Structure 1
Amino acid sequence: MNRQIIRTDNAPSSPLYSQGVRVGSILYVSGMVGIDPATGELAGSSIQDQTRQALRNCEAILHAGGSALADVTQVTVLLAQPDDFVGMNETYSEVFTQTLPTRAVARLGPELEGILVSIMMTAHTAN
């Protein structure tokens, strides 16, 4: 199995996980939260702000791995508060408008101060 670790300064990182891993034509993106990589701070306190930034972070990793949002086939959204579902959907639907990937939404397990959402993706490309 030929595994390529994907890394970019345009998304949050940690020594505990890879931002992305590409295996052949499949790119797996780790769960991204709404932290702005330029500041290291949350992009805002609303579910919309954090969802928007989490999606930007995922997109940065996709690009670093030679992929794009149009190649995403599966998305998992983890919410800290189930009541944020409608607000998350408002922002999510701004990004995925045409060819919709499969999606699952569940509750985020650990309570992380200020974190409202984590989004992970899988993309398939021709490369």
Structure 2
Amino acid sequence: MKNIVKTDKAPAAIGPYSQAVMVGDFLYTSGQIGLDPVTGQLVEGGIEAQAERVMENLKAILEAAGMSFENVIKTQVFITNMGDFGKVNEVYGRYFKGNPPARSCVEVSALPRGALIEIELIAHK
């Protein structure tokens, strides 16, 4: 049985998908880009600002499911410029201080709304 997880503290879905789905003790999030949940607009300030917003959006979804970054077991990071890898790691590392999850990071040619980064995750309660 799947349960839809939704919060107003993260951007609403911009298509026919859910912010996250809980199946048993596992949470699967949709990819989050740096959209401000209040304005629905992509945040300004480059890769660091977008990465920070993405992580805050994911944090809100985790909290709506009764979890935190401690529950995250896998992330997938998509960036439009592998040259930003170090900047992304700096922001990402502030959210995963100890026992970080498994992760993959790939460069992609484009992301929705011209975003520079998108991250999705799997967490276990």
Scaled by the length of structure 1, the TM-score of the pair is 0.91
Alpha-carbon distance between aligned partners in 1 of 2:24 and 2:9, rounded to the nearest angstrom: 23
The question of whether the paired residues in 2 share the 8 Å contact of 1:45 and 1:114 is answered with no
Percent of pairs identical after alignment? 35
Paired letter, 2:63: H
Give the deviation of 1:100 after TM superposition. Answer: 0.6
Contact 2:7–2:60 at 8 Å: present in 1 too?
yes
* Corresponding residue for residue 7 of structure 2: 8
Residue type matched to 2:120 in 1? M
Question: Which residue number corresponds to residue 99 of structure 1?
Answer: 99
Aligned residues: CA RMSD: 1.3
- Which residue of structure 2 aligns with residue 69 of structure 1? 69
Unaligned runs of at least 5 residues, structure 1: none
How has the CA–CA distance of structure 1 residues 124 and 38 changed in structure 2, closer, same or farther, with 3 Å as cutoff?
same
SS at match of 1:76: strand
- Structure 1 residue runs of 4 or more that deviate by more than 4 Å after TM superposition: none
The answer to which of 26-35 and 38-47 deviates more is: 38-47
Structure 2 length as normaliser, TM-score? 0.92
